[in-house]
Chains A and B, each alone.
Chain A
Amino acid sequence: MDNPTQTPATPLGHQAARTPRTRDEHLARVLAGTDFLLFDGAMGTQLQARGLAAGEIPELLCLTNPAEITEIHAAYVEAGSQVVTTNTFGANRTKLGDAATVEQIFSAAITCARASGARYVAADIGPTGALLEPMGTLSFDEAYELFAEQVRAAHAAGADLFIIETMADIAEAKAALLAAKENSDLPVFVTMTFDEDGRTFLGTTPEVAAVTLSSLGADVVGINCSLGPSDVAPLVKRMLPWASCPVMVQANAGLPHVEDGRTLYSIEPEEYCEAVADMLDAGVTVIGGCCGTSPAFIAGERALLEGRTPAPRTISTDFAVTSAQHLTAIPAGHVGVIGERINPTGKKLLKQALRSGNHDYVLGEAINQTRAGAQILDVNAGLPEIDERATLVRLVSELQGVTTLPLQIDSTDPLAIEDAVRLYPGKPIINSVNGKRESLETVLPIAKHYGCAIVGLTLDEEGIPTTAQGRLDVAQRIVDACDELGIPRQDIAIDCLAMAASTDQSAPRAILDGIALVKRELPGVRCVLGVSNISFGLPFRPLVNATFLAAAFAAGLDLAIVNPMSERLMDVVNSWRVLSGEDESAQDYVAAYAGRKDTPSGAPSGVTYDTSSSEGISAALASIAGTLQEIASGMGKAPSAGSAPAKAAASTPASTDATPEGHVHELVLAGRKDPVPEAVRVILADTDPAHDAMYVINEVLIPALDEVGARFEKGTFFLPQLMASAEAAKAGFSVLRDAADTSDVPSKGKIVLATVKGDIHDIGKNIVRMLLENYGYDVIDLGRDVDPQVVADCVVEQHVELAGLSALMTTTVPAMSETIELLHEQAPWCKVMVGGAVLNPEYAQMVGADYYAKDANESAHIATEVLG
């Protein structure tokens, strides 16, 4: 997400529960799941059979050949279709171009559909044809606007409902669904298309689609296109338990092939209807057809519905949240882990990462928590000196690049919450609402509108109640307000708020009793708890946290917000799952713990150190040095993906150079990162007081990098070797940063990097970034497809003296030229270097650049020349 600033299309304070306007009683019964609805079959297939050329815009026929379109609709009505779908699949502004306006097409298409005599006209909305950020370049807001234009046109032209279909991207489906909900009061049906492996092209599963879209307020969800009906059946059966609304299916008639110059589909109506009957038995209530189907298929389906009543369905009451690719579901009686680490409160390195905008550290925390067994990650970007709204949105986007876990959006600013949950391609948790009237009135409508789960804190205008009953009273108010808005009970998690036992020893009992009371008095509601506050002010906090966590689970806690990297806490979680019966036959426990022994008492291993407590008062002055050492060594040992630390360590002695400095030099040249941290620590441990961080940087790491650069220029190193060396040097730098006060490691200046607007190739830019960071520059990486003004704004705001731009395509070089022009105009002090496959020195001069960097190494030379 290069340009996160955006304003939600709707202000705070959405209408409460949205009841769609239905044309008649039958449609209302369909939405209640008590009656069937029969759609039509393929439009495209019918048009091709009538001679539509491949690649032609079929929607234009609504204007040029309306009688033919009505004829196709009428054939479906005659076969039994209750709904006909307008010929508007691709009728958006970008696809239509200059050929027609969106209003013209929808108006004509709805007229054609009405003329068929159908009971209902469904306005068809297909995908935009472009991929949303971050993998594509279309912003969520741009997609929303394309859809909103279609929705307004269809609504004005008199459609009865919307069918948003053939969606492969849950983010795009969400944009379309929100556009429909926010610009019309008509019912919205949403279907996605799945691949042979049971995921959409972008990796969404049927369960994720069902939870996300039905929570968001789709009136009907389902599957269309994809495959033949017998292949769709198992997928729709996975969807049924997770959709809190009716489920629909419009499958293909198999795959097309050519016989004697005619395109035919592989499945006949009889076989097709057999598979549809199976899905009706499973609980599907809305059917029709997609590619390759014809009126004969619809006639068969109509016969299926004769005398049939909707099959009963069992819908899950699990606490369920999603990312675009992953469902985290916690059934009643099970416990879940929410990772707490991405929260700057009391964390120096995280604060620094958020301030600098270099989020590597944050992403590392996400990766580590995911590996450690977290099921949901909390994300908090609340620092007074930064733009929380923009930072939260950017973090949420970046985190999805490194983890598939659903996120818990944690903020006290309702505007930041709405920005983040609007864009989030899944069902997140909002952390939090509380019992204050203002909080209930601002946060709950956001949770309802965007279909989020919610953490409810038991505090109100009077503060945090000291008793269990007081906590229940506040919880009751929160739950009542949720009930009123129609937020389901299973989406509410009450936090009874852990207070320090060291200041009030009656607090733990009140919290535990509060949990039990809430679970008993508010059926269906879950309990969540940020555990670590309980131990505030006590030494060896992880032990207290663990004991309390076990007690809280026994009291009925469902979700623990903890540090999943704390082995001690995860031991409690894993063992509790055996005791509660969640871990059936203790299979997971045995697999993880068989053969394990306790570490000797009094010697907790590095991993159980709760670094979140290191700034609490427990960190007695005398032990600070030792603690830092321990943390540093723990971090140094953290294995990285795909590496083999043990093996690397074993081979270290053989390559030891005469001096520690020589050893580091050699490791950097060899591109071996794993042994570097230890080797750097050896230099720092030297008794010579001059051997500080600056010494290591200037006398050891930089000279090694210079030599690597020289070898690269001579051609004795090729690119991956240059990068492996840069990685090794980076491992050294991070030791220095962790061990020393960061103010000891001065920056050599700021450099902005960006891949220009329209270009999505970021590899070259990433290589340059890696190298420049290693030379000690602060790199502000704006990402790819970056708008010229965003580059200029950043350069001006931070008074940056060097900007690097890359472009890989000839088509995007004009954007580079435009960016440079803007920079020279608005930030004349800033030098610009450019690079990329299509550039050469002459071309670089032509676009107005100050420097041409033929490769990453050259960019380091340029940086030295400009910034020193």
Chain B
Amino acid sequence: MGVGLRIARESYQITSVNRSEVLRYLGHSGQSLSAELDERIEAVTQRCLYMARPRATMASFAVEEIGPDAVVLTGCALRLTGHDITQHLASAHEVVLFAATLGADIDRELRRLSLTDALEQVIFDAVATALIEKTADAANAHVRAYAAEQGAFTSWRFSPGYGDLPLSVQPMLLASLDATRQLGITLTPSHLMVPTKSVTAIVGIHPTPQPGLESSCSICSLAEFCSIRTTGRTCRG
């Protein structure tokens, strides 16, 4: 049993996004890029990095019960329902919830571009998508380090909407993290988050290594944010 994790608000300094990932979001498959387009993508990338405020809030809860179709947590009103999340957390003794966001300035810029420049809106959106994924990786690295401290292992981050975990858990998930107050994340009636470049996730903490664990640090997307290696160990034990 862990000592408990609660980080109300953590900021991440992220100074780059993976260019090939941005191009992939843009539907690129090897077409030759003109210098103009290339410069424009670079300029938009820099602007997005400058405007974004990548942040996360997280909290851990002990697993009270894993039923056939729901996970019950201690001291948390959130019920994680569905077959997939139950399977995913089957061997977990603790669960970390987190929410991450790039902040409202990104949405404001997307709106400005939607009124003024459709092409840059598309590019900006792709860059912001890559950036929020990276922010979620940064938060996940935090969780993994927390697990490693206890000699435990994490499962990959699972978000509402994956498998049969419904989006309708979002209100309770955000409330459990006080995410509106901490990060300004709000929900629409159809459970979409605003700011739109936001992620919520559930990470299990397990006594044994979990599937999906990278075989080496060199291919790990969390490597840039990893604090385990500085201790001379890895999350693989």
Contact = CB atoms under 8 A, between A and B. Distances in A.
A709 to B, nearest CB: 15
B229 interface: no
B37 A671 contact: yes
B59 A402 contact: no
A130 B183 CA distance: 13
A578 interface: no
A727 to B, nearest CB: 6
Given A201-B104, A260-B3, A718 B118 contact: no
B78 A55 contact: yes
A718 B30 CA distance: 9
A475 B29 CA distance: 68
B4 to A, nearest CB: 4
B186 A129 contact: yes
A55 B190 contact: no
A766 to B, nearest CB: 5
B6 A257 contact: yes
A762 B114 contact: yes
A758 B187 CA distance: 11
A324 B52 CA distance: 19
A758 B8 contact: no
A136 B194 contact: yes
Interface in B1-43: 3-9, 11, 26-29, 31, 34, 36-37, 40-41, 43
Which of A258, A720, A723, A812 has the most CB atoms of chain B within a 10 A radius of its CB? A720
Contacts of A719: 26-27, 122
A282 interface: no
Contacts of B103: 201
B121 A256 contact: no
A367 B114 contact: no
A256 B76 CA distance: 17
Contacts of A723: 118-119, 122
Interface residues of B, number: 66
A670 interface: yes
Contact of A670 (B34, B172, B186): B34
A54 B192 contact: no
Interface in A197-241: 197, 200-203, 225
A666 interface: no
A591 interface: no
A166 B181 contact: yes
A762 B118 CA distance: 10
B222 interface: no
B37 A766 contact: no
Interface string A752-787: 000000111111001101100000000000000100
B107 interface: yes
Nearest to A758: B190
A718 B27 contact: yes
Contacts of B125: 763
Interface in A54-72: 54-56
Interface in B135-182: 167, 171-173, 175-178, 180-181
B181 A193 contact: yes
Interface string A92-134: 0000000000000000000000000000000000010111001
Per DSSP, chain A at the interface is loop
A672 interface: yes
Contacts of B173: 55
B222 to A, nearest CB: 22
A53 B5 contact: no
Of A138, A715, A766, the most chain B CB neighbours within 10 A belong to A766
A291 B182 CA distance: 11
B13 to A, nearest CB: 13
B102 to A, nearest CB: 12
A137 interface: yes
B10 to A, nearest CB: 10
A203 B43 CA distance: 23
Interface in A703-729: 715-721, 723-724, 726-727
A811 interface: yes
B76 A54 contact: yes
A760 B188 contact: yes
B115 A763 contact: no
Contacts of B5: 258
Nearest to B43: A642
Contacts of A720: 26, 37, 41, 119, 122-123
A363 to B, nearest CB: 5
A746 interface: no
A398 interface: yes
A130 B77 contact: no
A263 interface: yes
Interface string A617-640: 000000000000000000000000
Nearest to B103: A201
Contacts of B41: 720
Contact of A402 (B3, B36, B112, B175): B112
A762 B27 CA distance: 17
B104 A54 contact: no
Contacts of A202: 104, 184
A291 B41 CA distance: 42
B188 A137 contact: yes
A197 B27 CA distance: 36
B172 A55 contact: yes
A255 interface: yes
B192 A809 contact: yes
A53 B135 CA distance: 28
B117 interface: yes
A401 interface: yes
Given A401-B112, A721-B37, A811-B167, A767 B190 contact: no
B31 A135 contact: no
B67 interface: no
B36 A261 contact: no
Contacts of B183: 201
Given A53-B75, A54-B175, A130-B187, A671 B34 contact: yes
B175 A168 contact: no
A650 interface: no
A475 B117 CA distance: 45
Contacts of B6: 256-258, 263
B188 A130 contact: yes
A303 to B, nearest CB: 29
A478 to B, nearest CB: 37
Contacts of A134: 111
A225 B9 contact: no
B190 A812 contact: yes
Interface in A340-383: 360, 363-364, 367
Nearest to A725: B119
B105 interface: yes
A162 B26 CA distance: 49
A811 B161 CA distance: 10
Contacts of A717: 31
Given A53-B76, A723-B118, A130 B186 contact: yes
Nearest to B44: A642
Nearest to A784: B114
A85 to B, nearest CB: 16
A135 to B, nearest CB: 5
Given A166-B181, A193-B181, A54 B78 contact: yes
A127 B176 contact: no
A8 to B, nearest CB: 24
Interface in A157-173: 166, 168
A131 B108 contact: no
A820 B150 CA distance: 55
Contact of B3 (A138, A261, A291): A261
Contacts of A364: 116
B189 interface: yes
Given A168-B184, A720-B122, A763-B121, 9 more contacts: A54-B175, A55-B173, A257-B8, A402-B115, A671-B36, A727-B119, A759-B190, A763-B125, A809-B192
6 contacts: A53-B77, A129-B180, A256-B6, A261-B4, A723-B118, A766-B114
Which 5 pairs of residues, A with B, have the shortest CB-CB distance?
A201-B184, A55-B176, A55-B77, A758-B190, A723-B119
